Amino acid sequence: MKDIATPGRTKDILERHGFAFKKSLGQNFLIDANILTRIAEAAGIEPEDGVIEVGPGIGALTEHLAKQAGQVEAFEIDQRLLPILEETMAPYPHVRVHHRDILQVNLGAFIHENMSECRSISVVGNLPYYVTTPILMAVLEQRLPIKNIVIMLQKEVAERMAAVPGTKAYGSLSIAVQYFAETEKVMTVPKTVFIPQPRVDSLILRLKKRSAPPVHTVNEEFFFRLVRASFVQRRKTLWNNLLHQLVGPEGKGRLLQAFEQTGIDPGRRGETLSMEEFALLANELAPFYQEF
């Protein structure tokens, strides 16, 4: 049988089931099997491994994952796709489809209850653009027992996640993602290989979960607050952003002291600081966290 990810078979499946795309769900189905093979390969899946797939759609990527993994747990929010998936996944008894919003799932408990026999677990998905960041951060912040995450997402957002200091794309999202995982760009995916065609190109990103963050933080919550505050107005200096967005006038003396103690120039912009420098600054200010 032909791959699902061909223009002919995709259109046939959609027409037979009378499926209409919902703009609100950001649905774009891939019709290039070679790209799906690259995604599955990037995840490094073996028969003893398990996969959590986010947004299987009509099962095009699921099919490729099922050919490599011993267990696939797919989460689909659109009820209209369930009968399609029941049909397309019929040859793969080790694939289970769950009609649930991944953001409402306690993945730690789910993995413990359903995937304890898997040698390793990967999270894979072609994420709708509008929920990319919330889903990815939810997976990362839960500190799940997973090996890696391989996702296809809007190219601009992927570039921001993988960006390094001193570049235009570097910001609080770069630090948030790289705090939890090592990032690697796999390949760019042109908009022409989707039905319907999105407005922008996509990029496949591989995130390898870190066993521990690359920097030491005495207060992780405060570290991320400081990072976000540093980028509120990108063109402003660290001093201006942190004074107005974090500490307020009453914390001015503490902020000045923190810059002096760390040797970081308050006239720099957030985009020039490494994660290590943000950690130094946050650790210096963290003891006075309750004052802000």
Q: Is 39:152 a contact under the CB 8 Å cutoff?
A: yes
* Cβ neighbourhood burial of 119 (10 Å; 0-12, 13-18, 19+): exposed
The domain made up of 7-209 is a member of CATH 3.40.50.150: yes
Q: What is the pLDDT of residue 27?
A: 84
- For residue 85, the model assigns a pLDDT of 98
Burial 142-169 (b: 16+ CB within 10 A, else e): eebebbbbbbbbbbebbbbbbbebeeeb
Residue 241 assigned ligand-binding role: no
Nearest to 158 by CA among 121, 207, 198, 196: 207
In the chain, what are the domain boundaries?
Answer: 7-209, 220-291
Helix, strand or coil, per DSSP, at residue 149: strand
pLDDT value, residue 58: 96
pLDDT of residue 292: 56
Identify whether the C-beta of residue 147 lies closer than 8 Å to the C-beta of residue 111: no
Q: Report whether 30 belongs to an annotated binding site.
A: yes
Place of tokens 């399609």: 84
Give the span between the Cα atoms of 217 and 240, in whole angstroms. 23
229: tokens are 């505050």
What per-residue confidence (pLDDT) applies to 189? 97
β pairing state of 95-98 and 71-75: parallel
78 is in an annotated binding site: no
DSSP 174: H
Q: What is the CATH number of domain 220-291?
A: 1.10.8.100
Q: What is the pLDDT of residue 1?
A: 65
State which residues of the chain have pLDDT below 70.
1, 290-292
- Written as one string, the DSSP assignment of 240-264 is HHHIIIII-GGGHHHHHHHHHHHT-
Q: If you compute the radius of gyration of the chain from its CA atoms, what whole number of angstroms results?
A: 22
76 assigned to a ligand binding site: yes
Cis-peptide, bond into residue 83, ω within 30° of zero: no
Q: Is 28 annotated as a binding residue?
A: yes
